[in-house]
Structure 1
Amino acid sequence: MRDELQKTLETFHTRLTSLSNIMDKAEHELFPGSDDMGPLLTARMAEDMLPFTHQIVFCCNQPNQFIAWMKDEDVLGADPDPSGFDFPQLKSHISETLAKLDEAKTCLNPENLDRDKLIKLPPNNGLTLSGPAYVNDWLMPNFYFHYVTAYNILRSRGLEIGKANYMAHLIHLVRPLDI
């Protein structure tokens, strides 16, 4: 279980680092010398989807909820309201989540992954998942959904990013092949 715990923390950390780098690029390329990022903050991929601010905060919610669950902390009401976030606050929220992930690497008990997780859904529904199912079938898909949606919103607004930005966690493995 220790390997699974470390892999989960590392996955969240490396992908949030990539998202942070993409956000830096967006700040410099989409809004050079401007503080008016309002059009981006309210941008959506589709009318019935939540705006950019929510995508970033909800992306961070997944690792934060994972850490809280592993520490037996109640997360009900702990998730921030994304509607008031500006661009610097979004970047700060990612940085704070990365710091929590760094701290969690040394203080979480891998045995806690053996527990079941009750997920409450509105209005009065829920589902219970095993620890590994909670991570692999709930947290990770939600994390990637919001990460990709934020990425796509930035692309749709003209940011020149591609798969290398999205998968930056693998760049250190790229090498010339002797063929």
Structure 2
Amino acid sequence: MGVSLHAAFVPSCIQILGSIARLIDKAALAGYERGAGQSSLLGARLADDMLDFRYQVKSVVMHSADAIEAVRQGRFTPDVDPIEASVAELRAMVRQAEAALAAIDPAEMEAFVDRDMIFVWNGRDVSFSADQFLLSFSQPNFYFHAAAAYAILRAEGLPLAKRDYLGTLRIRRDA
């Protein structure tokens, strides 16, 4: 039996969004503990030419729930502008994405297979099938930005472990 598009995309996005929500909380707590305020780590970045923690969170949302909405519309243009968001605003973005993903009907996602999808970048239209857009563009970007968010906080000295990135695993309950 093959894996459905929904199964290949949605549950893992929800899993990692949960870990991103906890990373936001840990960043806020660490800011307080350092006496710098809860938002002090949100502007942290790995390198001068790389976008900050806030942008990484924004991109995780963009390449999960927002990517599904783009597929519904048949067009995706990434928002590459940096953001100024508070801890509360980042939390809300992640929670909204989790709720949107949880509400997706698996049958709707299966109807995306082979649907035309346009990715717009630098004035160019790139054609995808919707399923290949999700699996070959958004999903890799989703994991890249989630890993970058984790790495930024590790580089800032937060005591994180791999389980902080992995989130809540979907283990068998019947064994």
* Residue aligning to 2:4: 3
For structure 1, which runs of at least 5 residues remain unmatched after alignment? 174-179
Percent of residue pairs identical: 25
Mapped contact 1:120–1:127 kept (Cα < 8 A): yes
Secondary structure at the counterpart of residue 48 of structure 1: coil
| Counterpart Cα distance in 2 of 1:107 and 1:34 | 49
One-letter amino acid of the structure 2 residue matched with residue 89 of structure 1: E
User: Structure 1 residues 35, 91: closer, same or farther in 2, change over 3 A?
Assistant: farther
Is 2:72 aligned against 1:90?
no
Q: TM-score, normalised by structure 2?
A: 0.82
Contact 1:5 1:110 in 2 (8 A): yes
Structure 2 partner of 1:12: 13
Farther-moved stretch of structure 1 (31-40 vs 14-23): 31-40
Change (3 A) 1:166 1:115: same
RMSD of aligned Cα (Å): 2.9
Match of 2:37 in 1: 36
| Secondary structure class of the residue paired with 1:57 | helix
Equivalent-residue separation in structure 2 for 1:115 and 1:10 (angstroms) = 21
Change (3 A) 1:99 1:107: farther
CA distance in 2, matches of 1:108, 1:82: 32
TM-score normalised by L of structure 1:
0.81
What is the rounded CA distance, in whole Å, between the counterparts of 1:73 and 1:35 in structure 2? 43
Unaligned runs of 5+ in 2: none
| Secondary structure of the structure 1 residue equivalent to 2:104 | helix
Match status 1:101 vs 2:108:
no
| Preserved contact between residue 55 and residue 147 of structure 1 (Cα < 8 Å) | yes
Whether contact under 8 Å (1:119, 1:126) holds in the other structure is yes
Cα contact 1:70–1:108 (8 A) shared by 2:
no
**Separation in structure 1 between the aligned mates of residue 170 and residue 154 of structure 2, nearest angstrom:** 20
Map of 2:59 onto structure 1 = 58
Q: Which deviates the most, 126-135 or 150-159?
A: 126-135
User: Displacement, 1:35?
Assistant: 7.2
- SS of structure 2 residue aligned to 1:160: coil
1:128 alignment counterpart: 127
Post-superposition offset of 1:19: 1.3
**Cα 1:172–1:107 shift into 2, 3 Å:** closer
Structure 1's consecutive aligned runs of 4 or more residues displaced over 4 angstroms after TM superposition are 73-77, 79-82
